[in-house]
């Protein structure tokens, strides 16, 4: 167990129809103007927007809309939202959506309180935010766990970097699993795979010995795998959505990371893949995970062998540690194929409805490799050449 300090998390309201209970309890009379921030419009089609507007009207509160937050939100979009928040004198931001909306709003909440360029402050001057407009996260698609941490993944289009910024942590969170029933199945599965990825990125970090966080993590991973299968079988089962929604929060609320140095090398690589191609986050992770792990097999053999047995139920009896470890990675690859996520960059490309770059273009892959952050928690520090090799192995 590494040394750690543990800080509390945002207050969570969980359950079907919980929105009014949360807003009654958490929005004080002093709030005059609320910003309702959302993405491309799913909240209007599903009726979530109307239920929020009706609620605010019942309390005579004004609202402004901030729409069009895109998947893989940009720093320019953050600036647009912050300007609106200042101009409209917003005193509460409701981020209604998935990781993209919540991340964008975490940084808007902070940017609206300072004239400084936050990108420069955080990545160059290393000065971190201290003040923010109160923020609530109303999750409508689960997976990233963004609602329960203060990381915000933002793409800076001018530098082509997709980086985790420190934004505001939500002051309260609304998790209604029934909201996620309308999410297209491909997105729901890729979100749930993102959750599994967060668990794995934590589990395969350091130290090598198993601790209580790892044992809890194994349980969450088994739950995610079981419930992805159940969701595909019965997309309307809200109990399954509830499990996946809380799994997503559990993977990112810090509990599983206690006493760990996390890995997150796959994430650093996928974020650059996203910065250059605008691909879907969960799908990008699905493509690269097995290949990255095959490269690391000899550096973390015992942990991969345990993963095989405890998470995928591989029969390891009589097998060498290396054989068991290898079968665990095979099981992960087979699971990705089974649930319909892409297994190669070519398949990822075929799934992309739009995109800013071709994920099978070797020249682009070189730029992605060269700009990928190398993490300290990875079992072995890779270099840009190895990352490039991994990407080329993922093409077909």
Which residues of the shown chain bind ligand NZQ in the complex (CB under 6 A)? 38-43, 46, 71-72, 97-101, 103, 140-141, 143-146, 149, 151-153, 179-180, 182-183, 187, 191, 194, 252, 267, 281
If the CB atoms of residues 110 and 183 are measured against ligand NZQ, the closer one turns out to be 183
Q: How far apart are CA 110 and CA 93, in angstroms?
A: 11
Evaluate whether 297 touches 262 at the Cβ level (below 8 Å): no
Evaluate whether 91 touches 33 at the Cβ level (below 8 Å): yes
* Residue 249: CB minimum distance to ligand NZQ, A: 11
* Residue 197: CB minimum distance to ligand NZQ, A: 7
Q: How far apart are CA 56 and CA 107, in angstroms?
A: 24
Output DSSP code: residue 357. S
Q: Does 194 bind Zn ion (CB under 5 A)?
A: yes
Measured in whole angstroms, the distance separating CA 206 from the mean position of its chain's CA atoms is 21
* Residue 188: CB minimum distance to ligand NZQ, A: 9
* Residue 96: CB minimum distance to ligand NZQ, A: 8
At 206 the three-state DSSP class reads strand
State the binding partner of 100 from ligand NZQ, Zn ion, none, CB within 5 to 8 A by kind. Answer: ligand NZQ
If the CB atoms of residues 176 and 194 are measured against Zn ion, the closer one turns out to be 194
* Residue 323: CB minimum distance to ligand NZQ, A: 31
* Residue 165: CB minimum distance to Zn ion, A: 15
Per-residue binding string, Zn ion, 242-271, x by CB under 5 A, is ------------------------------
Which distant-in-sequence residues (6+ apart) come within 8 Å of 69 by Cβ?
37, 38, 39, 77, 81, 97, 100, 101, 104, 105
If the CB atoms of residues 316 and 371 are measured against ligand NZQ, the closer one turns out to be 371
* Residue 396: CB minimum distance to ligand NZQ, A: 25
Phi, psi (rounded to 5 degrees) for 258? -60, 130
Which distant-in-sequence residues (6+ apart) come within 8 Å of 389 by Cβ?
none
State the binding partner of 151 from ligand NZQ, Zn ion, none, CB within 5 to 8 A by kind. Answer: ligand NZQ
If the CB atoms of residues 176 and 310 are measured against ligand NZQ, the closer one turns out to be 176
If the CB atoms of residues 194 and 247 are measured against Zn ion, the closer one turns out to be 194
* Residue 90: CB minimum distance to ligand NZQ, A: 20
Choose the stretch contacting Zn ion; rule: CB under 5 A; options: 73-81, 132-140, 187-195, 324-332: 187-195
At 238 the three-state DSSP class reads helix
* Residue 151: CB minimum distance to Zn ion, A: 10
State the binding partner of 140 from Zn ion, ligand NZQ, none, CB within 5 to 8 A by kind. Answer: ligand NZQ
Measured in whole angstroms, the distance separating CA 188 from the mean position of its chain's CA atoms is 12
What is the DSSP annotation of 280-335? -HHHHHHHHHHHHHHHHGGGSHHHHHHHHHHTT----TT--HHHHHHHHHHHHHHH
If the CB atoms of residues 99 and 328 are measured against ligand NZQ, the closer one turns out to be 99
Q: Which of 325, 334, 333, 331 is nearest to 306 (CA)?
A: 325
Q: If binding means CB under 5 A, how many residues of this protein chain bind Zn ion?
A: 1
Cβ of 24: how many Cβ atoms within 10 Å?
10
If the CB atoms of residues 302 and 352 are measured against ligand NZQ, the closer one turns out to be 352
Cis omega before residue 368 (within 30°)?
no
Cβ of 255: how many Cβ atoms within 10 Å?
18
If the CB atoms of residues 59 and 239 are measured against ligand NZQ, the closer one turns out to be 239
Q: Does 147 bind Zn ion (CB under 5 A)?
A: no
Which distant-in-sequence residues (6+ apart) come within 8 Å of 31 by Cβ?
61, 91, 92, 134
Q: How far apart are CA 268 and CA 162, in angstroms?
A: 9
By beta-carbon distance, which residue lies closest to Zn ion? Answer: 194
Q: Does 214 bind Zn ion (CB under 5 A)?
A: no
If the CB atoms of residues 70 and 261 are measured against ligand NZQ, the closer one turns out to be 70
Residues near Zn ion, by CB under 5 A: 194
């Amino acid at each position: 167990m590494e040394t750690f300090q543990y800080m509390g998390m945002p207050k969570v309201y969980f359950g079907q129809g919980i929105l009014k209970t949360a807003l009654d309890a958490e929005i004080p009379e002093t709030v005059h103007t609320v910003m309702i921030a959302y993405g491309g419009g799913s909240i209007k089609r599903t009726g979530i927007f109307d239920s929020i507007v009706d609620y605010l009207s019942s309390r005579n509160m004004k609202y402004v809309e901030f729409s069009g937050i895109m998947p893989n939100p940009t720093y320019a979009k953050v600036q647009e939202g912050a300007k609106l928040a200042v101009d409209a004198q917003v005193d509460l931001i409701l981020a209604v959506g998935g990781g993209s909306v919540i991340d964008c709003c975490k940084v808007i909440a902070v940017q609206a309180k300072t004239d400084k360029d936050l990108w420069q402050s955080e990545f160059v001057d290393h000065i971190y935010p201290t003040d923010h407009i109160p923020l609530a996260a109303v999750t409508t698609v689960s997976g990233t766990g963004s609602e329960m941490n203060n990381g915000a993944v933002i793409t800076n289009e001018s530098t082509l970097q997709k980086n985790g910024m420190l934004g505001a942590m939500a002051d309260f969170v609304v998790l209604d699993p029934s909201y996620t029933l309308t999410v297209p199945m491909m997105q729901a599965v890729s979100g749930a795979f993102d959750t599994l990825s967060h668990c794995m990125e934590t589990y395969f970090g350091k130290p090598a010995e198993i601790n209580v966080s790892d044992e809890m993590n194994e349980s969450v991973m088994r739950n995610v795998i079981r419930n992805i299968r159940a969701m595909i079988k019965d997309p309307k089962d809200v109990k399954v959505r509830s499990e996946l929604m809380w799994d997503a929060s559990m993977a990112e609320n810090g509990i599983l990371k206690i006493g760990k140095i996390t890995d997150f090398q796959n994430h650093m690589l996928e974020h650059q893949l996203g910065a250059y191609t605008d691909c879907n986050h969960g799908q990008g992770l699905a493509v690269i995970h097995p290949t990255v792990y095959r490269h690391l097999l000899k550096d973390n053999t015992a942990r991969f062998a345990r993963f095989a047995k405890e998470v995928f139920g591989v029969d390891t009896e009589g097998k060498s540690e290396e054989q068991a470890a290898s079968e665990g990675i095979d099981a992960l690859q087979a699971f990705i194929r089974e649930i319909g996520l892409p297994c190669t960059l070519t398949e990822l490309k075929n799934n992309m409805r739009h995109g800013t770059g071709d994920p099978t273009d070797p020249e682009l892959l070189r730029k992605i490799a060269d700009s990928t952050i190398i993490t300290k928690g990875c079992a072995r520090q890779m270099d840009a050449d190895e990352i490039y090799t991994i990407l080329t192995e993922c093409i077909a």
